[in-house]
């Protein structure tokens, strides 16, 4: 299908992008990798009057691992995340998510900022960001503000970004004992269910755990009951880990579609949460 007619402008800095968002108002959309926006426009689910291309803002690209802190620019593409050796050590959960996301074309064009801002309920990164307790830097007309990942995702395709703001980077503390595993849709590779785990281990036991899931409800979510149940569990005790993660799918009515029922998604959430914890514990 052919999108509605639109104007195209290119921003060469974050300030210029914010000015352009202010000028064009709610009828404008930022263009990053275009991997979600362009299909939405072709299907006419989105019909922005102006596209503000942010792809030529070099300051928004790059991965920095500095001591214990990892910072990733919003325009960094999935392929760069999937190939980064420092990130693989510092936060294997994110590295793994990038490696199993979409296909090579999507990984080369799509960006972490675009994925998080799009907030697809089946996207991989939101669960990882919650498990890493990431902090997002958002730029707007009044300067920058920090938003915790837990406060960023407000609904299906909805975030706490206002129409005049953009995501510029994400940052989190290194989590070497972390993992992301997913049951992917065979056609799109989106998560039917995805689970991220970040552990602190002491003497073979789980001292603390952060576990988050995606694909089940309108947004990714943390599983505090599971996190609590994992404390003190011997990491190599598969039976105990499975018992602790049994409730990972939550109590709500999970999303159903032609591929998987909500009941099935909830059952798979327990399986994949256990796998994520087991894998994180090996690191």
Ligand X SMILES: Cc1cc2nc3c(=O)[nH]c(=O)nc-3n(C[C@H](O)[C@H](O)[C@H](O)COP(=O)(O)OP(=O)(O)OC[C@H]3O[C@@H](n4cnc5c(N)ncnc54)[C@H](O)[C@@H]3O)c2cc1C
Positions that interact with ligand X (CB under 6 A): 29-37, 39, 74, 101-102, 106, 109-111, 113-115, 117-118, 120, 123-125, 161, 166-167, 188-190
Residue 179: how many CB atoms within 10 A of its CB? Answer: 26
Residue that has been written with the tokens 């706490």 in this structure = 160
Residue that has been written with the tokens 């009951």 in this structure = 225
Question: Is 92 or 110 the residue whose CB approaches ligand X more closely?
Answer: 110
**Residue 179 structure tokens:** 């993992």
**At its nearest, how many Å lie between ligand X and the CB of residue 55?**
9
Question: Is 190 or 221 the residue whose CB approaches ligand X more closely?
Answer: 190
Question: Is 58 or 204 the residue whose CB approaches ligand X more closely?
Answer: 58
Contacts of 195 (CB under 8 A, 6+ apart): 127, 180, 181, 182, 211, 212, 213, 214, 248, 269, 272, 273, 275, 276
Q: Is the dihedral of CA 271, 273, 274, 279 positive or negative?
A: positive
Question: Is 34 or 247 the residue whose CB approaches ligand X more closely?
Answer: 34
Question: Is 29 or 222 the residue whose CB approaches ligand X more closely?
Answer: 29
**At its nearest, how many Å lie between ligand X and the CB of residue 238?**
27
What is each CA distance from 125 to 70, 121, 205, 271, in whole angstroms? 15, 10, 27, 19
**At its nearest, how many Å lie between ligand X and the CB of residue 236?**
30
């Amino acid at each position: 299908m052919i999108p509605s007619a639109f104007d195209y402008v290119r921003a060469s800095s974050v300030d210029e992008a914010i000015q352009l968002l202010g000028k064009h108002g709610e009828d404008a959309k930022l263009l990053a990798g275009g991997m979600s926006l362009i299909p939405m426009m072709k299907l006419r689910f989105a019909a922005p009057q102006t596209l503000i291309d942010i792809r030529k803002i070099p300051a928004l690209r790059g991965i920095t691992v500095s001591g214990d802190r990892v910072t990733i620019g919003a325009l960094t593409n999935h392929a760069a995340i999937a190939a980064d050796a420092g990130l693989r050590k510092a936060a294997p959960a994110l590295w793994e998510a990038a490696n199993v996301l979409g296909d090579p074309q999507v990984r080369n064009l799509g960006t972490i900022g675009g994925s998080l801002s799009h907030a697809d309920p089946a996207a991989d990164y939101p669960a990882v960001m919650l498990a890493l307790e990431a902090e997002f830097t958002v730029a707007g007309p009044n300067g920058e503000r920090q938003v915790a990942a837990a406060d960023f995702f407000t609904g299906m395709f909805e975030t706490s970004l206002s129409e005049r703001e953009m995501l510029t980077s994400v940052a989190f503390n290194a989590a070497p004992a972390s993992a992301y595993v997913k049951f992917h849709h065979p056609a799109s590779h989106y998560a039917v269910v995805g689970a991220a785990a970040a552990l602190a281990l002491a003497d073979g036991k789980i001292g603390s755990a952060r576990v988050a899931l995606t694909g089940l409800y309108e947004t990714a979510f943390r599983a505090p009951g599971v996190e609590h149940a994992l404390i003190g569990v011997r990491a190599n005790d598969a039976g105990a880990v499975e018992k602790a993660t049994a409730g990972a799918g939550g109590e709500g009515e999970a999303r159903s579609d032609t591929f998987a029922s909500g009941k099935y998604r909830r059952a798979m959430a327990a399986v994949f949460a256990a796998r994520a914890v087991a894998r994180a514990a090996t690191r």
